[in-house]
Amino acid sequence: MRIILDGMGGDNAPLEIVKGAVEASKLIEDEIIIVGLEEDINAELAKYSYDDDKISVVHASEIIENEDAPVRAVRTKKDSSMVVGINMVKNGEGDLFISAGNTGALMAGSLFNLGRIQGIDRPALGSVYPILGDKACLLVDAGANSECKPDNLLEFAMMGSIYMEKVIGRPSPKVGLVNLGVEENKGSTLTKAAFELLDKSHMNFIGNVEAREVPMGACDVIVCDGFVGNVILKLTEGLAINIMNLLKEKFTDGTKAKLGAMLLMDKIKGLKSEFDYTEYGGAPILGVKGPVVKMHGSSNANAVKNTILKGIPYAKENVVGTISDAVFDIEEILTEEE
Amino acid sequence: MRIILDGMGGDNAPLEIVKGAVEASKLIEDEIIIVGLEEDINAELAKYSYDDDKISVVHASEIIENEDAPVRAVRTKKDSSMVVGINMVKNGEGDLFISAGNTGALMAGSLFNLGRIQGIDRPALGSVYPILGDKACLLVDAGANSECKPDNLLEFAMMGSIYMEKVIGRPSPKVGLVNLGVEENKGSTLTKAAFELLDKSHMNFIGNVEAREVPMGACDVIVCDGFVGNVILKLTEGLAINIMNLLKEKFTDGTKAKLGAMLLMDKIKGLKSEFDYTEYGGAPILGVKGPVVKMHGSSNANAVKNTILKGIPYAKENVVGTISDAVFDIEEILTEEE
């Protein structure tokens, strides 16, 4: 398998990207192709010893920046590492594309260049959601589609379910719909209609889930529109940072507190890792005709390594083909509905 | 002033409601009228010594339960403590109504019996949002309106702003719109249009706020539709509980940890109170023709006492009248828009 890596995307590119690729390469048989400014990437590669049968570089002269307007960027920067990388998957020169770059551009580029899987109306971004003290779950949509129809939520559930089963290895994943209450008749026009569709599906749909239950690990696949998904992810991040800062403040307030904190140090350290979801890999773009994974913009070498290792099943387990087949189930539910 | 208290609403009624009323009564000059099953309430009152010029009971034979369908309940249970209490405000027999009962019924009852303030399309529920290590803010709408138009968000901002200034005493409150990004052109059709309206208002509108910034105290009034508001409140609650449980688990894991936790005990205790927003009072229903406040269903006597004390300015500062006057500003913005 050939993994295409965007050498220029993210805050720490190409330094941490290249370092992560070298680390991952030591653990896998697959080939890694880093796309970007050849000179810069080779300069980084020169720092390490690696098997040059397994790591190679493809030159791309442009870089899509985080500030670039997504659609415009992928349309105009044709020789950017991102567009070149996506096209390599399209042309069969690669099996998986991973980037820490501009999320909107990655979404737009995947959509324009790879195209949607037939029958999928709205490709989505899946994001691993950390569950404290338990196994993480997948949130779909994590922010790609701020306005959705009920059919879209059904698609998100199906794609998330397949990804969770095939890539994360969670059998018969529990699918929950984010809603105002657990009762069937609760919610907005969108969630009420989506509930009906999900209820007819063959998925392991457990019904409505209140936002309160999400961090408790109520389900394996959290389904919601991209606006709500963004709120859930960002609020979780903000609260976690906030609580950690508050703890730090309280635990350094006076000698007694400092002594107590010292005794608890190993436990507190463990706490931070509970929020670290990089062990589950990056965020998959679901519903396009090729496996594309988004890494966090601030990914360090370790996160890059993990994303590569955990991303491999997205291609090897033929998730794209499985989604493509499952479209028929969705179409049946929607036809019944009409 | 006469404060009307729903004696039968909430998980701990009438016991904690009556106890809280007696405690509040010792601190204020105002009269408290407890509505509900006379016999039960008098039995509770008999446990305490109180000034019977300041606490009285009005009988109501029915109780609206949490499980009752809101609209049906207020339509059929005309002699419930909730409906009788709301009508006392309507008829000038009381100046403020406070209930820990069924939120939907309280909303519906206020809407049907008091009516909307002229020019307000959608009354909303405001909820105090705890900011760790800083002053709380007000979230509007907290779940009453799961689908909204841009005009509604403008109304929510205006009503929340007035409440925050007059009742909580925050001068020139900063208003923020929950959105996917801080840039002006970000978001859904709803938030983009709401941004334009808010930007034209005389409020202290600071622009879009990402969910990540909400717990950091980015603004004093958080504006969003009721679906998103519910997600923000419930997710915060769930995460806080989850993190507290995890801390408890880690801090009791082994002798060393237990010793450390003992030294930190006073700091940890303080932490829990950071999430305690009862000191700011209950959740106001905004946009109806009379001050109505919702208390948490599980309110204990202390929460009841606080809600009474903090609720008084909702009536005394003439918030309803101020909202009524401010409607003209909103109408001007909307007329310009057309």
- Do residue A188 and residue B264 have CB atoms under 8 angstroms apart? no
- Do residue A227 and residue B267 have CB atoms under 8 angstroms apart? no
- Do residue A146 and residue B187 have CB atoms under 8 angstroms apart? yes
DSSP-based three-state secondary structure for A26: coil
pLDDT (0 to 100) of residue B261? 84
Give the span between the Cα atoms of A242 and B102, in whole angstroms.
32
Q: Is the pLDDT of residue B227 over 80?
A: yes
- Over residues B43-61, mean pLDDT: 97
Asked if residue A326 belongs to a domain, the reply is: no
Q: Is the pLDDT of residue B42 over 90?
A: yes
**Residues A19/A44, Cβ–Cβ less than 8 Å:** yes
- Do A249 and A104 lie in one domain? The reply is no
One-letter amino acid at B81 equals S
- Do B196 and B208 lie in one domain? The reply is yes
Per-run averaged pLDDT (10 residues), chain A, 338 residues:
97 96 97 98 97 97 94 96 98 97 96 96 93 84 94 97 94 96 86 96 96 92 97 91 81 86 79 66 94 93 94 95 93 81
- Do residue A211 and residue B147 have CB atoms under 8 angstroms apart? no
**Residues A235/A243, Cβ–Cβ less than 8 Å:** no
Asked if residue B336 belongs to a domain, the reply is: no
- Do B102 and B35 lie in one domain? The reply is yes
Q: pLDDT band at residue B278, thresholds of 50, 70 and 90?
A: low
Asked if residue B334 belongs to a domain, the reply is: no
Lowest mean pLDDT: which of A59-68, B105-114, B183-192, B284-293?
Answer: B183-192
- Do A59 and A150 lie in one domain? The reply is no
- Do residue B212 and residue A257 have CB atoms under 8 angstroms apart? no
Pair of tokens at residue B71: 């609209």
pLDDT digits 0-9 by tens, A149-198: 999 999 999 999 999 999 999 999 999 999 998 888 788 999 999 999 99
**Residues A111/A288, Cβ–Cβ less than 8 Å:** yes
- Do A32 and A134 lie in one domain? The reply is no
State chain B's mean pLDDT as an integer: 92
Q: Is the pLDDT of residue B112 over 70?
A: yes
- Do A207 and A154 lie in one domain? The reply is yes
- Do residue A235 and residue B232 have CB atoms under 8 angstroms apart? yes
SS3 content of chain A, % helix, strand, coil (to 5): 50, 15, 35
Give the span between the Cα atoms of B73 and B11, in whole angstroms.
18
Pair of tokens at residue A332: 């049946």
Helix axes A319-337, A301-316, angle to 10 degrees: 60
pLDDT (0 to 100) of residue A207? 96
Nearest to B224 by CA among B182, B175, B261: B175
Torsion sign over Cα A331, A332, A334, A338:
positive
- Do B107 and B147 lie in one domain? The reply is no
- Do residue A133 and residue B216 have CB atoms under 8 angstroms apart? no
Which of B133, B250, B263 shows the shortest C-beta gap to A271?
B250
Asked if residue A239 belongs to a domain, the reply is: yes
Lowest mean pLDDT: which of A226-235, A256-265, B54-63, B293-302?
Answer: A256-265
- Do residue A242 and residue B216 have CB atoms under 8 angstroms apart? yes
Asked if residue B332 belongs to a domain, the reply is: no
Pair of tokens at residue B47: 């446990």
Give the span between the Cα atoms of B188 and A227, in whole angstroms.
8
One-letter amino acid at A335 equals T
pLDDT (0 to 100) of residue A142? 94
Instruction: Specify the higher pLDDT residue, A87 or B247.
Output: A87
- Do A306 and A183 lie in one domain? The reply is no
- Do B154 and B197 lie in one domain? The reply is yes
Q: By residue range, what is the domain housing residue B116?
A: 2-120+287-317
DSSP-based three-state secondary structure for A174: strand
Nearest to A161 by CA among A110, A121, A206: A206
Helices marked H in chain A: 15-25, 38-45, 70-76, 81-90, 103-109, 150-166, 189-200, 226-251, 255-274, 301-316, 319-337
- Do A199 and A265 lie in one domain? The reply is yes
Chain A residues with CB under 8 Å of B242 CB are 132-133, 215-216
Fill in the DSSP letter of residue A2: E
* Domains held by chain B: number: 2
Could you tell me the strand order of the sheet in which A55-59 lies? A55-59, A31-36, A2-6, A96-99, A292-294, A283-286, A124-129, A137-140, A221-223, A174-178, A204-209
Pair of tokens at residue A264: 């608890």
Which of B235, B269, B273, B298 has the most A C-beta neighbours within 10 Å, making it the best mutation to test the interface with A?
B235
Which of B178, B187, B227 shows the shortest C-beta gap to A180?
B227
Cα dihedral B88, B94, B100, B103 in deg (nearest 10): 60
C-alpha of B121 from chain center:
19
- Do A159 and A294 lie in one domain? The reply is no
pLDDT (0 to 100) of residue B248? 82
Which of A177, A231, A233, A248 has the most B C-beta neighbours within 10 Å, making it the best mutation to test the interface with B?
A231
Q: What are the CA-CA distances from residue B228 to residues A129, A219, B139, B204 (Å)?
A: 18, 20, 10, 22
- Over residues B220-229, mean pLDDT: 97
pLDDT digits 0-9 by tens, A208-243: 999 999 998 899 999 999 999 999 999 998 888 888
Residue of A nearest to B238 (CA): A212
pLDDT (0 to 100) of residue A276? 65
**Residues A199/B158, Cβ–Cβ less than 8 Å:** no
pLDDT (0 to 100) of residue A182? 83
Give the span between the Cα atoms of A309 and A29, in whole angstroms.
11
Give the span between the Cα atoms of B213 and B225, in whole angstroms.
17
- Do residue A146 and residue B274 have CB atoms under 8 angstroms apart? no
Residue of A nearest to B255 (CA): A263
Q: Any idea what the Cα angle at residue B222 is, between residues A238 and B295, rounded to 5°?
A: 100
Asked if residue A336 belongs to a domain, the reply is: no
Q: Which residue has the tokens 């907290």?
A: B142
The whole-angstrom distance between B159's CA and the closest CA on chain A is 23
Nearest to B90 by CA among B328, B320, B324: B320
pLDDT (0 to 100) of residue B276? 65
pLDDT (0 to 100) of residue B334? 87
Question: Length of chain B in residues, anyone?
Answer: 338
Q: What percent of chain B has pLDDT over 90?
A: 75
- Over residues B35-58, mean pLDDT: 97
Residue B204 parent element (H or E):
strand B204-209
- Do B129 and B258 lie in one domain? The reply is yes
Helices marked H in chain B: 15-25, 38-45, 70-76, 81-90, 103-109, 150-166, 189-200, 226-251, 255-263, 265-274, 301-316, 319-337
* CATH number assigned to the domain comprising residue A136: 3.40.718.10
Tell how strand A55-59 and strand A31-36 pair up: parallel
Residue of A nearest to B142 (CA): A180
pLDDT (0 to 100) of residue A274? 67
> Given B227, B247, B277, which residue is the final one in a domain?
B277
Fill in the DSSP letter of residue A338: -
Chain A residues with CB under 8 Å of B142 CB are none
Asked if residue B40 belongs to a domain, the reply is: yes
Could you tell me the strand order of the sheet in which B292-294 lies? B55-59, B31-36, B2-6, B96-99, B292-294, B283-286, B124-129, B137-140, B221-223, B174-178, B204-209
Pair of tokens at residue B258: 């237990």
Nearest to A155 by CA among A281, A310, A336, A328: A328
- Do residue B212 and residue A133 have CB atoms under 8 angstroms apart? no
Which of B234, B242, B251 shows the shortest C-beta gap to A211?
B234
Q: Is the pLDDT of residue B143 over 80?
A: yes
Torsion sign over Cα A164, A189, B323, B29:
negative
Asked if residue A187 belongs to a domain, the reply is: yes
